[in-house]
Amino acid sequence: MNNIKIYAKKLFTGKEWLYNHCIHINNGIIAQLEPFEIADNSTIYPIIVPAFIDAQIYGAGERLLSVYPDAASIQALYKYCSKGGALYFLPTIATNSKEVMLAGIDAVKTYWNESGKGCLGLHLEGPWINPLRKGAHVEAYIHSPSKTEVAELIAYGKGIIKMVTLAPEVCDSNIIQQLLQAGIIVSAGHSNASYKQAITAFNNGITTVTHLYNAMSPLAHREPGLVGATLLHPSVMSSIIPDGYHVNFEAVSIAQKLMQERLFVITDAVTTTHEGPYQHYLNGDKYESNGILSGSALTMYKAFQNLIQQIGIPVERAIQMCSTYPARMLGLQQLGLLQVQYKASMLIMDNTYQLINSFHETEFIA
pLDDT digits (tens, 9 = 90+) for 115-135: 999 999 999 999 999 999 999
One of 243, 268, 285, 350 is an active-site residue; which one? Answer: 268
Confidence of residue 171 (pLDDT cuts 50, 70, 90): very high
Residue 272 DSSP label = -
Whole-number pLDDT of residue 228: 98
Q: Where in the chain is the domain with CATH 3.20.20.140?
A: 54-330
Q: What is the pLDDT of residues 103-120, one digit of tens each?
A: 999 999 999 999 999 999
Catalytic-residue membership of 54: no
Q: Give dist(CA 62, CA 270) in Å, integer.
A: 9
The CATH homologous superfamily for domain 4-50+336-365 is: Urease, subunit C, domain 1 (2.30.40.10)
Greatest alpha-carbon pair distance for the chain in Å reads 65
Question: The domain 54-330: what is its CATH number?
Answer: 3.20.20.140
Q: What is the mean pLDDT of residues 297-302?
A: 98
Q: What is the mean pLDDT of residues 207-224?
A: 98
Q: What is the pLDDT of residues 6-65, one digit of tens each?
A: 999 999 999 999 999 999 999 999 999 999 987 777 899 999 999 999 999 999 999 999
Residues of the chain above pLDDT 70, percent: 99
Whole-number pLDDT of residue 42: 83
Starting at the edge strand that comes first in sequence, how are the strands of the sheet with 29-35 ordered? 29-35, 17-26, 4-12, 44-50, 345-349, 355-360, 363-365
Whole-number pLDDT of residue 366: 66
| 336 close to 15: Cβ distance less than 8 angstroms | no
Of residues 273 and 291, more confidence is placed in 273
- Residue 2 in this model has a pLDDT that exceeds 80: no
Q: Give dist(CA 334, CA 345) in Å, integer.
A: 10
Residues of the chain above pLDDT 90, percent: 95
Q: Where in the chain is the domain with CATH 2.30.40.10?
A: 4-50+336-365
What dihedral do alpha carbons 225, 186, 103, 322 form, nearest 10°? 80
Whole-number pLDDT of residue 45: 97
In the chain, DSSP finds a helix count (H) and a strand count (E) of: 10, 20
Q: What's the whole-number average pLDDT of the chain?
A: 96
- Residue 237 in this model has a pLDDT that exceeds 90: yes
Q: What is the mean pLDDT of residues 148-166?
A: 98
Q: What is the mean pLDDT of residues 163-190?
A: 97
